């Protein structure tokens, strides 16, 4: 069995044989590792390309720009709108297929403009066994090249390689596109995407790191990771979340006491989000309950000491 060092060397040698590559670059750990290897192998002949559309949070685009600069790779933007495709808007079980087809199509168009013949994506060896992943069909149909998959690099190995390259995103949780917050069968609209992004921006500003705001046709269902859920039970947070999210445009605001769950609005748990996030969760040391059992610390901490802004402030 090959070691991580051997797999990394093989992937680098593989890309070094290319005249140039364009990396489909979200700024997440998988695409960042591909970009780092490509830049290491090809220098200026490697380009990172981020697809900008309504489903990409502005904060994620900012992260992608920052990480590209960190790597030292040339960074370009490909703009398009998924909302132009009625199949995507319909939001059926194949939404990710339609989305990935458009995104990669925009990448190939940008690569052609730059006279680059190879488009790489960040599919890793664990993705192919992750259940319902319609987006992978688009990768195959458009013939994008997946060096992590080709060299059998797993998610854990991706994170190890990210640490070797000293990438700041080595431990970054996965961030699926905003449309994944809308239940299957409910149309994806610009209004829904916008209020989801604004709501999640509020939670991020308040210091939460693992969360989702699910949009059930005007009802906001807030999911918070188990480690952070006690903070969300704070009376001040409840009041502030209600005030801010209704101001944003939600009719009702709820807190899901089950906490954060990947793909909770889609059939079969929807593996669109699950692989990266399950891995990042386990790598952070499991749940609060699991860690508390190994120590004398109380399971629930004092959560009534944080001040949250309310709508009147």
219-224/74-79 β-pairing = unpaired
What is d(CA 120, CA 153) in angstroms, rounded to the nearest whole number?
A: 15
Q: What pLDDT, on a 0 to 100 scale, did the predictor assign at position 271? A: 40
Domain boundary, last residue among 102, 136, 164: 164
Digit-by-digit pLDDT tens for the chain (313 residues) are 789 999 999 999 999 999 999 999 999 999 999 999 999 999 999 999 999 999 998 989 999 999 999 999 999 999 999 999 999 999 998 898 898 899 999 999 999 999 999 999 999 999 887 655 677 787 888 889 999 999 999 999 999 999 999 999 998 877 788 999 999 999 999 999 999 999 999 999 999 988 999 999 999 999 999 999 999 999 999 999 999 999 999 999 999 999 998 766 665 444 444 333 333 343 434 433 333 333 333 333 333 344 555 444 4
Q: Is 304 domain-assigned?
A: no
15 and 124 housed in the same domain? yes
Q: What are phi and psi of 151, to 5 degrees?
A: -105, 20
Work out the end-to-end distance of the chain between its first and last CA atoms, rounded to an integer number of angstroms: 59
Looking at the 3D structure of the chain, how many domains does it have?
2
Is 187 domain-assigned?
A: yes
* Cα Rg, the chain, nearest whole Å: 20
Position 232 scores a pLDDT of 94
Provide the pLDDT for residue 272: 40
Tokens 């040391």 map to which residue?
285
Alpha carbon distance 146, 139 (integer Å): 9
Give the number of other CB atoms < 10 A from CB of residue 170.
19
Residue 51 lies in a domain: yes
Length of the chain, please? Answer: 313
Count CB-CB contacts under 10 A for residue 245.
Answer: 23
Among 109, 135, 164, identify where a domain stops: 164
83 CB-near residues (< 8 Å, 6+ apart): 54, 89, 188, 189, 190
Note whether residue 283 is domain-resident. Answer: yes
Same structural domain for residues 141 and 275? no
Instruction: Tell me which long-range contacts 190-193 makes (C-beta under 8 A, separation of at least 24).
Output: 190/54, 190/83, 191/249, 193/54, 193/55
Q: Report phi then psi at 187, rounded to 5.
A: -60, 140
Determine the Cα–Cα distance for residues 132 and 184; give it in Å rounded to an integer: 14
15 and 91, same domain (yes or no):
yes
User: What would the DSSP string read from start to end of 182-226?
Assistant: S-TTSPP-HHHHHHHHHHHHHHHHTT--SEEEEEETTEEEEEE-T
Domain that holds residue 124: 4-164
Same domain for 155 and 47: yes
CATH number for the domain harbouring residue 65: 3.40.50.620
User: Which bin fits 16, alpha (ψ -120 to 50), beta or left (φ > 0)?
Assistant: alpha
Domain annotation covers residue 18: yes
User: Do 65 and 194 belong to one domain?
Assistant: no
Q: What is the DSSP letter of 19?
A: S
- Alpha-carbon distance 238 to 26, whole Å? 32
Answer yes or no: do 211 and 260 share one domain.
yes
Residues 141 and 287 in one domain: no
Domain co-membership, 184 together with 43: no
190 and 157 together in one domain: no
Q: Does any domain span residue 75?
A: yes
- b vs e for 17-49, b when ≥16 Cβ sit within 10 Å of the residue's Cβ? ebebbbbbbbbbbbbbbbbbbbbbbbeebbbbb
Asked if 96 and 28 sit in the same domain, the reply is: yes
End residue of a domain, out of 130, 164, 198: 164
Task: Say if residue 70 is in the same domain as residue 128.
Answer: yes
Q: Positive or negative CA dihedral for 231, 232, 235, 236?
A: positive
Of 56, 51, 55, the residue nearest 121 (C-alpha): 51
Indicate whether 92 and 204 sit together in one domain.
Answer: no
Q: Are strands 211-216 and 219-224 parallel, antiparallel or unpaired?
A: antiparallel
Whether 116 maps to a domain, the answer reads yes
CB 161 within 8 A of CB 151: no
- 173 occurs within a structural domain: no
């Amino acid at each position: 069995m090959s070691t991580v060092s051997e797999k990394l060397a093989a992937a680098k040698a593989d890309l070094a044989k290319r005249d140039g590559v364009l990396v489909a670059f979200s700024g997440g750990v998988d695409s960042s590792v591909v970009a780092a290897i490509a830049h290491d192998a090809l220098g200026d002949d490697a380009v990172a390309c981020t697809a900008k559309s309504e489903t990409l949070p502005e904060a994620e685009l900012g992260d992608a720009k920052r990480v590209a600069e960190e790597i030292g790779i040339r960074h370009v933007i490909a703009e398009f709108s998924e909302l132009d495709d009625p199949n995507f808007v319909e939001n059926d079980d194949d939404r990710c297929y339609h989305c990935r087809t458009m995104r990669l199509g925009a990448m190939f168009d940008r690569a052609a403009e730059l006279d680059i013949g190879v488009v790489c994506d960040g599919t890793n060896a664990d993705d192919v066994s992750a259940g319902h992943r319609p987006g992978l069909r688009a990768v195959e149909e458009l013939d994008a090249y997946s060096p992590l998959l080709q060299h059998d690099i797993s998610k854990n190995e991706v994170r190890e390689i990210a640490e070797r390259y000293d990438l700041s995103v080595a431990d970054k949780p996965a961030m699926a596109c905003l449309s994944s917050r809308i239940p299957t069968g409910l149309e994806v609209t610009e209004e829904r995407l916008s209020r989801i992004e604004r709501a999640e921006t509020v939670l991020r500003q308040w210091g939460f790191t693992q969360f989702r705001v699910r949009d059930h046709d005007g009802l906001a269902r807030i999911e918070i990771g188990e480690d952070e859920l006690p903070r969300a039970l704070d009376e001040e947070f409840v009041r502030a979340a209600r005030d801010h999210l209704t101001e944003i445009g939600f009719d009702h605001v709820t807190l899901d006491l089950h906490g954060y769950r990947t793909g909770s609005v889609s059939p079969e748990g929807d593996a669109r989000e699950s692989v990266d996030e399950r891995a990042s969760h386990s790598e952070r040391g499991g749940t609060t309950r699991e860690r508390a059992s190994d120590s004398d610390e109380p399971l629930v901490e004092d959560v009534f000491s944080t001040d949250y802004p309310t709508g009147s402030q």
